[in-house]
Amino acid sequence: MENETKKGKQKIEMKLIEIERARMVSFSKRKKTLFQDANKFATQTGTDVGVMLFSPSEKTCSYGSTSIEEIIDKFLKVKQEDRKRDYAERKSNGFEALEDLHKELQALNEKQKKNEY
């Protein structure tokens, strides 16, 4: 028994499982674990979690701590608000830069007028 070495949890080489049946079995097992982990994460952190998968046979699978549709809607709404905020920020920065250029132009015009007299 002393000579036996324990391997423990081994790293799995990340490559496509060639045999289709084995791939489907692996997908089913990993999907279950992924959904359990997502549920645990949502429960422990009090957050909304959504996971969407497409199986090798093109079937859709999803998990949502609330409904997946609510999570997607929330995600898209936040993204839209981010885009609006980014646009407003860029617009504001553009106006500030334009005002700075206008002030510089006025200063140059005044300087030129003084030099003409």
The count of C-alpha atoms lying within 13 angstroms of the C-alpha of 3, restricted to the half-sphere facing its C-beta, is 0
Tell me what pLDDT residue 33 has. Answer: 93
Tell me what pLDDT residue 44 has. Answer: 95
Q: Are residues 20 and 41 in the same domain?
A: yes
Which residues form the domain of 48?
Answer: 15-65
Tell me what pLDDT residue 29 has. Answer: 92
How far apart CA 105 and CA 103 sit, in angstroms, is 5
Q: Are residues 79 and 113 in the same domain?
A: yes
Q: Are residues 20 and 33 in the same domain?
A: yes
Band (pLDDT 50/70/90 cuts) for residue 2 is: low
Name the domain count of the chain: 2
Q: Are residues 83 and 41 in the same domain?
A: no
How far apart CA 11 and CA 16 sit, in angstroms, is 15
Band (pLDDT 50/70/90 cuts) for residue 28 is: very high
Instruction: Encode pLDDT of 50-96 as tens digits.
Output: 999 998 888 999 998 888 889 888 888 887 777 777 777 777 777 77
Q: Are residues 97 and 108 in the same domain?
A: yes
Handedness of CA 96, 101, 106, 108 (dihedral sign): positive
pTM: 0.56
Instruction: Encode pLDDT of 95-116 as tens digits.
Output: 777 788 888 888 888 888 777 7
Phi, psi of 64 (to 5 degrees): -140, 135
Q: Are residues 22 and 41 in the same domain?
A: yes
Tell me what pLDDT residue 45 has. Answer: 94
